[in-house]
Amino acid sequence: MIKFSNVEKKYPNGLLALNDINLTIEKGEYVAVIGLSGAGKSTFIRCINRMHDITDGTLIVNDVEVAGLKGKEVRQFRRNIGMIFQSFNLVTRTTVLKNVLVSFVPDLPFWRKIFGLFTKEQKMQALSALDQVGILDKAYTRVDQLSGGQQQRVALARTLAQNPDIILADEPVASLDPVTAGQVMDDFKKINQEMNITVIMNIHHVDLALAYADRIIGIRKGEVVFDGKSSMVNQSVLDHIYGRAQSIEVRKEGAKMNHV
Amino acid sequence: MNAIEKQLLSEKKNYQYITWIFVIVFVLFIWSLSAIQLNNMGTSGLTIAKNIITGILHPDLDLLFNITEKGVAYLLIETMAIAFLGTIIGAILAIPLAFLSASNVVPKPLAFVTKILLIGIRTIPAIIYGLMFIRVTGPGPFAGVLTMSLISIGMLSKLYADVIEDLDTSVLESMTSIGCTMFEKIRYGIIPQLLAMFLSIVIYRFDMNLRDASVLGLVGAGGIGAPLIFAMRSYRWEEVGSILIGLVLLILIVEFISNKIRNKLVRGY
Amino acid sequence: MFDKIFVPKKIILPNGKVVLEKRSYTPLILLILLIATIFSVHITGFSMEVIVKRIKEFFVILDQMIPPNWEYTPKLWQPLMDTIKMSLLGSALGAIVALPVAILASSNIIKSSIVVSIVKLLLSILRTLPTLVSALIATFIFGLGTMAGTVAIFLFTIAYVAKLLYEQIENANMDAYEAMESIGLTRIQAFRYAIFPQVLPNYLSTSLFCFEGNVRYASILGYVGAGGIGLLLSEGIGWRNYANVGIILLMLAITVFIIENLSEHFRKKLV
Ligand SMILES: Nc1ncnc2c1ncn2[C@@H]1O[C@H](COP(=O)(O)OP(=O)(O)OP(=O)(O)O)[C@@H](O)[C@H]1O
Ligand SMILES: [Mg+2]
């Protein structure tokens, strides 16, 4: 469970990126965060695993007060939260499997860590994770020979191998073509439903958000302006989140994407 | 002045520029023509040229396939050993220097100073180092190894540093989110990226070092260069022929293999 | 082949799927490197002890180079100019000759594969031959002096520029060439108008780059009697007059620096 109470995030330069956020996300929910560029979506997501520090209020994740964690505790805390990025963030010059195995690195004893010797069990888990996202046959291929969609799946497998309770995804399909984007979204949906992992995803395509997520959080200028079931989202809600003029554009964009 | 006129004028200026360049290059060319002196070349030159060609076409096969210490095969192995050891030593010592000269790792002033030092090392030609190291170790392949090491340090540090300076750091962000420590990020996020590139650079350098090592013998620093110059000075052209054939073959083979491996490392196939 | 000697390990996943884990090459490569290193240490007589004991000799020499002997400077101009002349002339002539040679080595222009392979082979051999060795041979034919150095640089430039040039030509877009051939132009004419413009900037830039490198090579050619400043270098070291060596190296460094920057400036304009 993730609980925001009066959370505020002010960047050192004085910019107020999140203002008085109050909401609760239960285990197993699939949440899409939408809003204009610069609204504070990335900031919102990054506060959850403490990639950013909040400046006021309390944020509780799985019964842990996030702001109170120190040094080693932060790293331990992050082990249970997976994160997916728009740019995949993989080591491109090594194999797929080695990239997935990275998620076991913090658990290794020192000598194994130095030589990069993973246990058979860990290799099995990594391979199973690759199997779950459907690229088992690419395990020994170098990442730079994969397509964008496949690379995002490697990132997803790396996160799954972590065996997380929560997956945070910051625009995971923004650099993929519409068809591949749909496939990756399917993977997320499968993971959410079959493994009961909470998924919180920033996404620019409203139609994808509405099609896949159960719950939509709309952020505008650092404030939550909408929070409810995806079925409740209609044009006036979008107008509210995006401001009148843009929302029509956003819908049109989405419609175009769906027809490709 | 309308756009078309402007365009016309700018073209004229470009022509002027090119004309000037041509004039300058031409003048320099004429000036450098005085490097041609044929007065030293008597009829003996032609005879020698003929002898060299016959020598190369009729190499001393005994020497070429001889496997004693005087044979071409042994000398080539010695040359390879000089180049190899020099490359290995240089490849290792260049790593710290490369990090010290990478402006995204250390403070700019320190990086600048290290870069200047490396430029200094690179300016001095290999055979000068060879001559200096002979004073340290006495003549022989050992001096060659030290020379090759120093040359490699100068060249490799620069190429390494270029790789370090355009490292992809986005993977570090995801490793932070996994809960990795600084050490883990370096070991699994940075080293795998560097390793493939560094290896490819080192193999390329070995290729170059082999060429350099083959001339170090001219100054007495071991390898095939010394027998080559002796054979020439005593006009034993069949011997020269077999040495040259051995050398050229070796370098071509090594170049072929090194290109193959480097392609695999950098592109993955 | 590797897979046959080191059979891949089978991993069976819980759901029954089988993955073949390739054996890592790393241990084998490390072993080979280790053996090669030990072997090389043995052959070359490498000794850490000697380094530790006597490396100071190296720095003694370095120390004697500083301060350099400034009085020696006036005597340097002539040989320094000779070095530049050698590299300039050798590079210019070499680059010009490289053009027809490169055409002869391009499989898309010359239809006879025998000619193409022979020219390519000759170019590889020429490129492989170290400049110092060809300079040495040239001194026997042309006598001691700048002529020998010029010839050595000339030959290397042909080999280097022609190789990069024929790769360019072979990768050039052939559409225009074929169109021109079809309307009755000769192959040379078609090359001149269809392919030459495509490769020209790169050709000039490669030649300039080769010239840069040649200045460095030319500086040591004097060591084998092929003219230029290298002669003074070998004299200075032979007589252990290190202050002279210091000033020569300094002048050389400055010259190389200036020429590299000039050439880089023009190369950037080209591409
Ligand atoms: N490190 C930072 N320091 C200062 N300001 C920042 C920093 N990171 C983000 N901001 C600002 O905070 C605001 C919210 O940024 P955030 O990245 O969360 O937006 P976003 O909704 O993710 O936008 P996008 O859709 O473009 O990714 C923006 O105005 C941004 O300029
Ligand atoms: Mg963002």
Ordered alpha helix ranges (H), B33-169: 43-57, 61-65, 72-100, 108-123, 126-137, 141-165
Domains contained in chain B, number: 2
Q: Which chain B residue's Cα is nearest to A102?
A: B188
Q: Are A113 and A102 in contact (CB under 8 A)?
A: no
> Are B19 and B109 in a shared domain?
no
The boundaries of the domain holding residue B251 are 62-266
Ordered alpha helix ranges (H), B140-190: 141-165, 170-178, 182-185
Q: Which residues make Cβ contacts (< 8 Å) with residue A216, sequence separation at least 6?
A: A31, A32, A33, A34, A209, A210, A226, A227, A228, A229, A230, A232, A233
Answer whether A176 contacts ligand 1 (Cβ < 6 A).
no
* Residue B267 distance to chain C (closest CA, Å): 17
DSSP secondary structure, A3-22, as one string:
EEEEEEEE-TTS-EEEEEEE
Q: Do C11 and A140 touch (CB under 8 A)?
A: no
pLDDT band per the 50, 70, 90 thresholds, residue C265: confident
A102: chain B residues, CB-CB within 8 Å: 175, 178, 180, 188-189
User: Residue C237 pLDDT > 90, yes or no?
Assistant: no
Q: What is the pLDDT of residues A26-60, one digit of tens each?
A: 999 999 999 999 899 999 999 999 999 999 999 99
Closest to C79 (Cα-Cα) out of C232, C254, C223, C212: C232
Which pLDDT score, from 0 to 100, does residue A227 have?
Answer: 92
Ordered alpha helix ranges (H), chain C: 2-5, 26-44, 48-65, 73-104, 113-128, 131-142, 146-171, 175-182, 187-190, 196-221, 230-238, 242-270
Q: Do B184 and A106 touch (CB under 8 A)?
A: yes
Atom of ligand 1 nearest to the CA of A40: 18
Q: What share of chain B is helix, strand, coil (3-state, %, to 5)?
A: 85, 0, 15
CATH class of C69-270: mainly alpha
Q: Are B142 and B81 in contact (CB under 8 A)?
A: no
> Rounded to an integer, what is the distance from CA B109 to the centroid of its chain?
28
Q: Which chain C residue's Cα is nearest to B51?
A: C141
pLDDT band per the 50, 70, 90 thresholds, residue A82: very high
> Rounded to an integer, what is the distance from CA B153 to the centroid of its chain?
11
Which pLDDT score, from 0 to 100, does residue A259 have?
Answer: 47
Q: What is the pLDDT of residues A187-210, one digit of tens each?
A: 999 999 999 999 999 998 899 999
A50 φψ region: left (φ > 0), alpha (ψ -120 to 50), beta (else):
left
Closest to A194 (Cα-Cα) out of A186, A183, A204, A202: A186
> Are B93 and B143 in a shared domain?
yes
Answer whether A17 contacts ligand 1 (Cβ < 6 A).
yes
> Are B7 and B131 in a shared domain?
no
Which pLDDT score, from 0 to 100, does residue A247 have?
Answer: 56
Q: Are A157 and A187 in contact (CB under 8 A)?
A: no
- Per-residue pLDDT in tens (0 to 9) along chain B, 269 residues: 566 776 666 665 667 777 887 888 888 888 888 777 776 666 677 888 888 888 888 887 777 777 677 788 888 999 999 999 999 999 999 999 999 999 888 899 999 999 999 988 988 888 889 988 988 898 889 999 999 999 999 999 999 999 998 888 889 999 999 999 999 999 999 999 998 889 999 999 999 999 889 888 888 888 888 888 888 888 888 888 888 889 999 999 999 999 898 888 887 76
For residues B62 and B51, give the distance between their C-alpha atoms in angstroms, rounded to a whole number: 19
Q: Which residue puts its alpha carbon closest to atom 31 of ligand 1?
A: A38
> Are B20 and B66 in a shared domain?
no
Q: What does each C-alpha distance from C167 to B226, C120, C153, C160, C205 come to in angstroms?
A: 35, 11, 21, 11, 14
Q: What is the pLDDT of residues C51-106, one digit of tens each?
A: 888 888 888 888 888 888 888 888 888 889 889 999 999 999 999 999 999 999 99
Q: Are C228 and C219 in contact (CB under 8 A)?
A: yes
Closest to A225 (Cα-Cα) out of A5, A20, A48, A26: A20
Closest to B145 (Cα-Cα) out of A109, C228, C46: C46
Whether C50 has its CB under 8 Å from any CB of chain B: the answer is yes
Cα(B240) to ligand 1 centroid in Å equals: 71
Domain membership of residue B107 (yes or no) is yes
Two tokens at A76?
């331990």
Strand, helix or coil at A84?
Answer: strand
Q: Which three-class secondary structure string do you get for A187-202?
A: HHHHHHHHHCCEEEEE
- ipTM confidence: 0.84
B184: chain A residues, CB-CB within 8 Å: 105-106, 113
Instruction: Say what the pTM is.
Output: 0.83
Out of B171, B181, B193, whose CB is closest to A75?
Answer: B181
List of domains in chain A? 1-80+168-260 (3.40.50.300), 90-163 (no CATH)
Q: What is the pLDDT of residues C133-162, one digit of tens each?
A: 888 888 888 888 888 899 999 999 999 999
Closest to C156 (Cα-Cα) out of C197, C128, C189, C186: C128
User: Residue C47 pLDDT > 60, yes or no?
Assistant: yes
Out of B35, B48, B214, whose CB is closest to C130?
Answer: B214
Which pLDDT score, from 0 to 100, does residue A246 have?
Answer: 59
> Are B111 and B170 in a shared domain?
yes
Specify burial of residue C146 (Cβ count, 10 A radius: 0-12, 13-18, 19+).
buried
Atom of ligand 1 nearest to the CA of A43: 18
CATH code for the domain in which residue B70 is found = 1.10.3720.10
C26: chain A residues, CB-CB within 8 Å: none
Domain membership of residue B172 (yes or no) is yes
Rounded to a whole number of angstroms, the distance between the first and last alpha carbons of chain A is: 37
> Are B2 and B66 in a shared domain?
no
Tell me what the mean pLDDT of segment A67-74 comes to: 89
| Maximum Cα–Cα distance across chain B | 82
Q: Which residue puts its alpha carbon closest to atom 9 of ligand 1?
A: A43
Domain range summary for chain C, segments of one domain joined by + = 2-46, 69-270
> Are B137 and B258 in a shared domain?
yes
For residues A34 and B201, give the distance between their C-alpha atoms in angstroms, rounded to a whole number: 46
Q: Which of the other chains make 3 or more beta carbon contacts under 8 angstroms with chain B?
A: A, C
Tell me what the mean pLDDT of segment A218-226 comes to: 92
Out of C14, C17, C22, whose CB is closest to A136?
Answer: C17
> Are B23 and B69 in a shared domain?
no
A140: chain C residues, CB-CB within 8 Å: 21-22
User: What share of chain C in percent tops pLDDT 90?
Assistant: 23
